[in-house]
Structure 1
């Protein structure tokens, strides 16, 4: 399966192929004014090898391992203007969370625009008056609006849908507030169909030492709902149609540290090791100032 990523190198957008190994050199290709989203759209309709089409006619730029810090990773297909990206998701989608009586479509929520997405290493902001915060290790589907605005599937990545679950538990109608935390996202876009099974482990560190660990299972097979139906119903709404808009849709999570009785605190670091796909996300969590604080 082809995997692509984007980064800023020498003040210009570049892309690369595959998930680079830690400490290894990078091979990048300048976008030179193009967008990766547009290139992928063109490649999808060609039928030829995607990697070959993306790199054809582009001179490779080899970045030594010692200079990798100069390549700043970006969320997959992030538009130049963060207002052209919408970050949203579904809740209570997994079999382990669904009760006897369930709606025919899970609840949908909005987390924000493109600036709520944080790549590994960046801090995830949490409202200062949060009640009880948890991580949510999830598959993230990425869609791009075509020339008519209809969202078209581009690929998937992985993320951490940080949630004030305590606020939601206090009042189910406050889901929209509970979700207004930053979202972690991996830089690697996998161009295949959404994965059926994803497994890994979450580690929460406090003061530099592990404070909680737990496994997770997600992916299409873990969902109570039919994923194509979920997405087609969501994108049937014209309000979500805009040419070039990039949608990042978090499709729900397994049980979290909250369900195990653990409470994440300000300054904790959450690491999601997606072992089945060789992807790792690690973020410190930072509480913002509470309302009224100086």
Structure 2
């Protein structure tokens, strides 16, 4: 089952449920978030809650996408209560991509030591016995709901950014029940948009490089995630293909289990606050930047993988550069 959302002509949100090629509006659904919270707080599955609502009129998802009417497949009514986070060095080959990204830009080998140590820790302890915690991964914060852009909309690099690069990932979508229990809604394609030039200056700038916009969707896969996911990441410039590369995800291609990554995120009380929504990106081993690609305004990122329905497409834009420092008002 795949879930998505679109804006009606009157500005209201409609939730769409898709099975195969058949897509229809979920009757009486205020939002995907409302459906998920209902499921989490009643102990029922999301599919059962949707079945209770029933399906209404059929919709043409590709047409809605072409018209720019698809929005994020789930959102929080208060963007400050949506957390966008991620983990890195979780995929087999991700350390090699990180090495290539730094070395291709002339970074000294000794700067990579901590990354390689973290990757090896994951290989050795990222797949613990079920029910037991393993080694914790690299973790980072990207922002809240204000940092998200809808599928089809531009990912905007800030004026001080050095780069705007795609990262094709799988994101886990979670709501927190009224009792503080994390509940997984499903999985979605994500573009964990980052600034790789800033990161390569010094690895301690990773936190800065991740404070960028992101996008996910257009559809959420509800249910089990395939263990072997094979997708494609591409960049188009002027309507022509600039770069394309397959990417792998799913536990068969990872050094960590999803259960271990979820544990090390939700072990913090901060991330189990009732009513909150989480979008957690699980990492990648495929970057155009590692292949020497330098993106430009107007480039279009496309990320697709068969289990997730429609591709995630976002153009790239850069905000106007500003030389003046941001000032703080004294009260």
**How far off its partner does 1:192 sit?**
1.2
- Does the CA contact (< 8 Å) of 2:155 and 2:213 recur in 1? yes
Structure 2 residue corresponding to 1:217, chosen from 248, 258, 262: 248
Partners of 1:148 and 1:140 lie apart in 2 by 24
Match of 1:149 in 2: 180
Match of 2:200 in 1: 169
Structure 1 residue 121 and structure 2 residue 152: aligned? yes
**How far off its partner does 1:223 sit?**
1.4
Partners of 2:71 and 2:40 lie apart in 1 by 19
Structure 1 residue 101 and structure 2 residue 117: aligned? yes
Partners of 2:24 and 2:62 lie apart in 1 by 10
Match of 1:13 in 2: 13
Structure 1 residue 61 and structure 2 residue 57: aligned? yes
- Residue 94 of structure 2 aligns to a residue in which SS? coil
- The number of residue pairs the alignment matches comes to 287
- Does the CA contact (< 8 Å) of 2:231 and 2:306 recur in 1? yes
CA RMSD of aligned residues (A): 2.8
Structure 1 residue 264 and structure 2 residue 295: aligned? yes
**Structure 1 residues 222 and 82: alpha-carbon distance in aligned structure 2, compared to 1, 3 A threshold:** same
Structure 1 residue 238 and structure 2 residue 269: aligned? yes
Partners of 2:279 and 2:202 lie apart in 1 by 26
Partners of 1:79 and 1:248 lie apart in 2 by 11
User: TM-score, length-normalised on structure 2?
Assistant: 0.77
Partners of 2:55 and 2:220 lie apart in 1 by 22
Structure 1 residue 4 and structure 2 residue 3: aligned? yes
- Residue 320 of structure 2 aligns to a residue in which SS? coil
Partners of 2:23 and 2:49 lie apart in 1 by 23
Gaps of 5+ in 1: none
**Structure 1 residues 269 and 65: alpha-carbon distance in aligned structure 2, compared to 1, 3 A threshold:** closer
Q: Identify the structure with the greater helix proportion.
A: 2
User: TM-score, length-normalised on structure 1?
Assistant: 0.86
Partners of 1:66 and 1:254 lie apart in 2 by 29
**Structure 1 residues 19 and 271: alpha-carbon distance in aligned structure 2, compared to 1, 3 A threshold:** farther
